[in-house]
Chain A
């Protein structure tokens, strides 16, 4: 079983993530990657394959990515915990609706029947995904989320998403959940965190 990492020592902490947040990730996803064939970039691009490919041969890569993500999540999440997906950017009746995260939790539930899958949040209206120019404002995102409640008592809710980029979606979800269920601790688990090598601040040379 490979080790996941807690997000703490990072070159550039995601813009909206702070010391109060508890996030875990497995891999580095390189934004505008120099090495586009990396395992992480391939997994994520397969996982995010557009719904228009549904039923076509490339779809099997998406299904494989879903199965792998679920299997890897199954290795990190503690027993009997509650798990939820960060809502998709589209409503289910939208042609571009992508159920990849819910599908992942479906596979996870088969692998780990002890887990409780929750759907505490629903989208009010379809939006652009953030990687296609959608909002990264926490307030805008949270205004578009509807609280649906939790099915049972839960002290810790694990929010699952594929890539942690700015952290805006995680923060918006956390904000809505804690507004309605203040006793619930929210942690995020991401398949990858985005790394932006170009944007790093330069080091001062300490040997001078």
Chain B
């Protein structure tokens, strides 16, 4: 009997999603809902960090359902039941899990083993660049974000950003206006949006492009309000991992954008910082990151050269 399916079944009645009669049929097939439930149960304990749990799961080389079965006894059955109840009505999205046919290879560099998505996952097969920055940009910053985003689309790149207000919104909107592909990676569960004013943009991205969330529904729901912000830096690591380069348009010394700068360097991705950041006397991070390998860029030509593009598209 196929071991993998048998193990999913072994979680019944907790994860009673595959009727017994279906157990014999296929090997190497997973139930996305069973894996989602198991993953959410594993991440449900607020006293353990997401990174450490995902790290353990990854090094075990097991599916979440298999891993959970091993952890039997360490996780209170009440918690499992709570998670199952909370997730019962969730639908309207798809699940991608490490090991499936379309799971993005780049995510092995970020603490994610399962994520939720809406839209066209194959967009991630194109060349992707993150364009990110502060939520409170200057007018020049906004203009630069839009210009670079449009230029990258013309050169055939997909724009990844975080759907925060400010630079993220400007970069995504300009790319869409230019007729390009975009990927929105959010720091809330996939059925929620933040900030509210981007709800329509998020919906457009989900319908016509690709929307991704790695945020577990249940844990997020249980998390104290003051701790929900910690999902945004995790989201930045994911964005960087999905991109061949991250471009920082504008950011302050305490900006969350710098999480992505660190992630890009740690993950071996290119980190491109606009010259205007270096010229800003009020901040010190550009020089710090340049020392660690970030590249200072002034023009679209600089960016395309760093991305290995020889010709700059006209217009």
Contacts and interface: CB of A to CB of B under 8 A. Distances in A.
Contacts, number: 142
Contacts of B119: 197
A200 B122 contact: no
B93 A4 contact: no
- Return the 4 tightest CB-CB contacts between A and B, nearest first: A38-B122, A4-B29, A3-B99, A207-B192
A187 B208 contact: no
Interface stretch (B19-27, B41-49, B167-175): B19-27
Contacts of A208: 196
Nearest to A2: B101
B102 A28 contact: yes
A30 interface: yes
B95 A9 contact: yes
Contacts of A95: none
A13 B187 CA distance: 26
A197 B28 contact: no
29 contacts: A2-B100, A3-B28, A3-B97, A3-B100, A4-B26, A4-B29, A5-B30, A5-B31, A6-B18, A6-B29, A9-B91, A9-B94, A33-B122, A35-B120, A35-B123, A35-B126, A39-B122, A40-B122, A75-B28, A81-B25, A197-B206, A200-B92, A203-B191, A203-B206, A205-B193, A205-B196, A205-B199, A206-B191, A207-B193
A37 B191 CA distance: 29
Contacts of A41: 122
Given A5-B100, A205-B193, A200 B22 contact: no
A28 B122 contact: yes
Interface string B92-133: 111101011110000000000000001111110110000000
B181 to A, nearest CB: 6
A75 B30 CA distance: 13
A29 B241 CA distance: 24
Interface stretch (A19-27, A134-142, A167-175): A19-27
Contacts of B209: 34, 197
B299 to A, nearest CB: 28
Given A6-B31, A78-B25, 15 more contacts: A5-B32, A8-B17, A9-B93, A11-B92, A11-B118, A22-B22, A22-B25, A28-B94, A35-B181, A38-B120, A76-B26, A187-B25, A200-B92, A207-B196, A208-B196
Chain A interface residue count: which class? 35 or more
A78 B23 CA distance: 10
A8 B102 contact: no
A208 B80 CA distance: 28
Nearest to A26: B101
B92 A76 contact: no
B25 A35 contact: no
Contacts of B196: 205, 207-208
A138 to B, nearest CB: 22
Contacts of A38: 120, 122-123, 125
B285 to A, nearest CB: 30
B122 A76 contact: no
A133 B193 CA distance: 39
Nearest to A195: B120
Interface string A191-207: 00001011011110111
B125 A203 contact: no
Interface of A: 1-6, 8-11, 22, 24, 26-28, 30, 33-35, 37-41, 75-78, 81, 155-156, 158, 185, 187, 189, 195, 197-198, 200-203, 205-208
B192 A205 contact: yes
Interface string B170-203: 0000000000010000001101111010010001
A55 B143 CA distance: 55
Contacts of A4: 26, 28-30, 100-101
Given A33-B120, A40-B102, A156 B92 contact: no
Contacts of A1: 28
A81 B22 CA distance: 13
B207 interface: yes
Contacts of B126: 35, 37
Nearest to A201: B92
B33 interface: yes
Given A3-B100, A201-B92, A77 B26 contact: yes
A96 B193 CA distance: 49
Interface centre among B18, B93, B94, B208 (most CB of A within 10 A): B94
A9 B33 contact: yes
Nearest to B121: A28
B2 interface: yes
B36 interface: yes
A5 B192 contact: no
A206 B221 CA distance: 11
Interface centre among A26, A187, A205 (most CB of B within 10 A): A205
Contact of A10 (B94, B97, B122, B188): B94
